[in-house]
Structure 1
Amino acid sequence: MNETLKVMEARRSCRNFDKKKMVSAEDIEAIVKAGTYAPTGRGKQSPIIIAVTNKELRDQIATENAKIMGTDMDPFYGAPVILIVLADKTIPTYKYDGSLVMGNLMNAAESLGLGSIWIHRAKEEFESDFGKKILSDLGIDGDYEGIGHCAIGYAAVPAPASAPRKGNYVYYVK
C-alpha cells in the first residue's frame, strides 16, 4: 500500500502526550509547511497558522480553552506544541479551507511519528479579548475566525487500533 494511504489509515487522535519531550524545530516546520499546501477554494489560501512552542503562551491558551470548555483540565493533553489554524472570514470557503489545513497538519505529524489531535474552541478563543490580543501582538490584521488547534507531540502510549469502518459509509453509483 502507498505510504500516504498508510499514514491516513494509521492516524489516530492522541490524548496522552509525553510532556518531557519537545518536538524538533525541523519537524514543526515540516508539519506547518504541509499545512500550507492544503487545497483552498479558488486557491485563495484563506487560512493562517500560528505555531506556538512558547510554554508560557501555550499554557495561557490551554487555560483560556479550558475556561470556554468549562473545566480546569489541560484540553491539549500535555502536547508541547499547538498549531492554531484561523481563516479569513471574507472568503466564502474559509471553514473548509481551514479544515483541510487541519487535516494536512495531523497527517504530516503522523508521517513523522508524532501524535496529534484536533481541539476545538479556537473560534471562541479568537473572538475574545485574549485571542484578539494574540493576533494584535503578532501584527495579524483581518477578519479571522479560529478553526481549530492541532496539538502535536510525542505520544506517551501507543495509538489504539482503529475502529471498524461502518457498513454504510460508502455508496457506489456505477
Structure 2
Amino acid sequence: MDSKVGRAVNEVIDAMVERRSCRSFKADMPSEEQLDAVVEAGLYAASGMGRQSAIILKVTDRALRDRLSALNAQVMGAPEGTDPFYGAPAVLVVLAARDVPTHVYDGSLAMGNMLLAADSLGLGSIWIHRAREVFGSEEGRAILAQLGVEGDYEGIGHCAVGFWEGQKPEPPARREGRVFCA
C-alpha cells in the first residue's frame, strides 16, 4: 500500500500521515483560539448512536495542570517531580459517561480528533494515558466536583498540547503485513 495515496489531495489524510507525538514542549501557551479549535474538533468526533458521551476539561491553569501531572506520575509509579505531560502548558482531558456502552470508543475518537486538530494548527500533542486511574481516585473525583462536573465519568486520556520544542520527527517506516484483502 502506497503511503502517498491521497496525499496532496486531502489535508485530513496528510494530517494523519504527518502527525507525531510531541515529547518536548515549549513553555509558551497556545492561543485561546487554537485550544478552542482543538477542543471543538474533539466535540465533533463520531460517537456511538450520536450520544456524544465524551466531555473535555480544558486545563490551562498551571496549578491544576501540575496537580494532574503529579497524580498521573503517582499512578505510573514515577519518581516525584516527573512530568508525564513533557512540559506541555495545556492539557485537554477527555472523560466519557460510563452509562453509555460505547464510552471508551467515543472518548478515544475525541482524543484522535484533537491530536489531528492540534497538528493541523502547528501544535504538538501527545496522548497520555492513566486518566481512568487519575479520575477514578478520590482526588480526581474531587477535582471533577470542584469544576462542577456532575455524573459518572471515566477518564479516557490526557491530550497534552503546546508548541514543539525542536523539530517534529519523520515518520517511522510502517510495519508490513498489517493489511489483508478479501
**TM-score, reference length from structure 2:** 0.93
* Matching residue within 27, 38, 41 for 1:34: 41
- The corresponding residue for 1:101 is 110
Q: Does 1:49 align with 2:24?
A: no
* Matching residue within 2, 13, 17 for 1:5: 13
Question: Which sections of structure 1, spanning at least 5 residues, go unmatched?
Answer: none
- The corresponding residue for 2:4 is none
Question: Which segment is superposed worse, 134-143 or 95-104?
Answer: 134-143
Let me know the Cα RMSD of the aligned residues: 0.7
Q: Does 1:17 align with 2:33?
A: no
Could you tell me how far apart the structure 2 residues matched to 1:10 and 1:135 are? 34
Residue type at the aligned position of 1:46: S
- The corresponding residue for 2:168 is 159
- The corresponding residue for 1:172 is 181
Q: Which runs of 4+ in 1 moved over 4 A?
A: none
Question: Which segment is superposed worse, 27-36 or 129-138?
Answer: 129-138
Could you tell me how far apart the structure 1 residues matched to 2:76 and 2:167 are? 27
Sequence identity (%): 52
Question: Which sections of structure 2, spanning at least 5 residues, go unmatched?
Answer: 1-7
Could you tell me how far apart the structure 1 residues matched to 2:40 and 2:33 are? 11
Residue type at the aligned position of 1:27: Q
Paired residues, number: 172
- The corresponding residue for 1:59 is 66
C-alpha distance after superposition, 1:126-157 (max 9, x if no partner): 11111111111122111100000000000101
Q: Does 1:111 align with 2:120?
A: yes
Could you tell me how far apart the structure 1 residues matched to 2:139 and 2:35 are? 24
